[in-house]
């Protein structure tokens, strides 16, 4: 069911086959590094540790830098530090960047924080995900995780239907999986679209926020959501000092275990071109 309802999988199946413009991607990666360096320095000034996760961490370990076809950066903060983003942004970064984050006055374009470059023709940004502890109480953990996934389904459906153009819609409904995915999301959007997208994402934040240390933690706003991203806390913490493309970085305590959990035991193998995901 999760695969059927994965919009990312459905979109990658219908994407047009195009050769990768390596030069353009390299230039974008350089721009992303400039954003990352500015944000890292600003956060580090306040003792906030911005760390590598997701595809960016996979790129660091497997490629000693970016995944060659990747054009974004996945970064994380523990919940306590994540809640300092707004204050640090306003003091250190607001002259050059725009902060989009659920609950922040500028609104949001997605469920996690993003920092955009101001005044550019091309939209450039980095993604920052909060890491929350998971309750050691099994019943509470199940209820919070289930509610988080329910709210995520609503918000993601509204976001997609609001932004889906006619060309993408026509390609999606031409396949069974794509059509099921599209129409389920359209129904959900009709039922719950009375509330703003920002309000739904803020509701997710209130549901998953947990700074109380526990045996497990999760990146509930990540691709695999609350239960899929859940790992032992010592996989994430304590963080280790490292580097990314020659720039100082923090990385997870147990990189190998994290990557095996998220990408499988063969995460070091480079996938064939037809299986390489694009950011649609």
Give Cβ neighbours of residue 249 (< 8 Å, ≥ 6 apart).
40, 50, 51, 52, 60, 241, 242, 243
Return averaged pLDDT per consecutive 10 residues of the chain, 280 residues in all.
55 56 88 97 98 97 95 96 97 95 82 90 89 97 96 92 88 85 93 92 93 96 93 98 97 98 94 69
Q: How many domains does the chain have?
A: 1
Q: Which domain covers residue 190, as residue numbers?
A: 7-275
280 in any annotated domain: no
The verdict on residue 208 lying in a domain is yes
Question: Nearest-CA neighbor of 217 among 202, 235, 203?
Answer: 235
User: 1 in a domain, yes or no?
Assistant: no
What pLDDT shows up at residue 104?
Answer: 86
In terms of C-beta density within 10 A (0-12 exposed, 13-18 middle, 19 or more buried), how is residue 186 classed? Answer: middle
Residue 253 lies in a domain: yes
pTM attached to this predicted model: 0.90
pLDDT at 17: 46
Asked if residue 73 is part of any domain, the answer here is yes
Per-residue confidence (pLDDT) for residue 164, from 0 to 100: 86
| Domain-located, residue 2 | no
């Amino acid at each position: 069911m999760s695969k059927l309802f994965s919009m990312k999988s459905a979109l990658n199946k219908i994407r047009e086959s195009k050769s990768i413009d390596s030069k353009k991607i390299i230039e974008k990666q350089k721009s992303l590094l400039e954003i990352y360096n500015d944000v890292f320095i600003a956060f580090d000034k306040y003792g906030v540790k911005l760390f590598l996760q997701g595809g960016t961490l996979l790129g660091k370990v497997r490629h000693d830098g970016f995944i060659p076809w990747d054009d974004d950066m996945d970064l994380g903060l523990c919940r306590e530090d994540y809640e300092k983003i707004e204050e640090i942004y306003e003091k250190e970064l607001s002259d050059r960047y725009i902060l989009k984050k659920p609950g922040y006055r500028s609104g949001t374009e997605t469920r996690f924080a993003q920092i955009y470059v101001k005044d550019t023709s091309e939209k450039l940004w980095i993604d920052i995900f909060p890491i929350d502890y998971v309750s050691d109480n099994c019943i509470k953990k199940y209820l919070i995780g289930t509610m988080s996934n329910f709210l995520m389904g609503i918000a993601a459906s509204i976001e997609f239907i609001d932004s889906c153009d006619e060309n993408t819609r026509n390609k999606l409904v031409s396949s069974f999986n794509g059509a099921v995915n599209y129409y389920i999301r359209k129904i959900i959007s009709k039922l719950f679209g009375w509330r703003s997208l920002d309000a739904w994402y803020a509701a997710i934040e209130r549901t998953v926020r947990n700074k109380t240390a526990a045996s497990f933690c999760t990146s509930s706003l990540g691709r695999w959501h609350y239960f899929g991203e859940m790992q032992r806390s010592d996989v994430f913490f304590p963080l280790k000092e490292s580097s990314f493309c020659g720039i100082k970085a923090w990385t997870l305590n147990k990189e190998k275990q994290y990557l095996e959990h998220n990408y499988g035991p063969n995460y070091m193998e480079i996938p064939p071109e037809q299986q390489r995901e694009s950011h649609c």
